[in-house]
Amino acid sequence: MRKAFGVMVLLALASTLASADYYVAGSFNGWDPAGLLMTETPPGSGIFTAPVGTAYREEFKITDGTWGWTWPNSGNSWFYPGTTTITYDTNVYADGWVNSTQRLGLDWDPENWTAVGDWQGWSNANPATAMTWLGGGIYSYEQDIAPGWWQYKAVYTGTWDAIGADARGVNSDTYWFETTAANPHAQFWVNALNGTIKVAVIPEPAALASLALLGLVTRRR
**Is CATH 2.60.40.3620 the classification given to domain 2-106?**
yes
Query: Using 50, 70 and 90 to split pLDDT, how confident is the model at 7?
Result: very low
C-alpha 169: how far from chain center: 9
Average pLDDT score, the chain: 88
Which DSSP symbol is given to 174?
A: P
Side by side, the strands of the sheet bearing 47-54 are 39-40, 47-54, 82-89, 103-106
Q: Tens of pLDDT along 185-213? A: 999 999 999 999 999 999 977 554 443 44
Long-range own/partner contacts, residues 74-77 (CB < 8 A, 24 or more apart) = 74/166, 74/169, 74/171, 74/172, 74/173, 75/169, 75/170, 75/171, 75/172, 76/26, 76/169, 76/170, 77/104, 77/167, 77/168, 77/169, 77/170
CA distance 43 to 150: 41
Query: Using 50, 70 and 90 to split pLDDT, how confident is the model at 114?
Result: very high
CA distance 59 to 151: 24
Q: Tens of pLDDT along 55-84? A: 999 999 999 999 999 999 889 999 999 999
More reliable by pLDDT, 154 or 9: 154
Report, in angstroms and rounded to the nearest whole number, the Rg of the chain calculated over CA atoms.
20
Task: Check if the beta carbon of residue 74 is closer than 8 Å to that of residue 99.
Answer: no
CA distance 33 to 209: 54
CA distance 155 to 172: 9
pLDDT of residue 113: 98
The CATH 2.60.40.10 portion of the chain extends over: 113-206
CA triple 144-147-148, angle to 5 deg: 120
pLDDT of residue 18: 57
The CATH 2.60.40.3620 portion of the chain extends over: 2-106
**Is CATH 1.10.3210.10 the classification given to domain 113-206?**
no
Query: Using 50, 70 and 90 to split pLDDT, how confident is the model at 143?
Result: very high
Whole-angstrom CA distances from 150 to 18, 60, 128, 186, 205 are 34, 29, 18, 10, 20
Whole-angstrom CA distances from 163 to 35, 40, 136 are 24, 23, 16
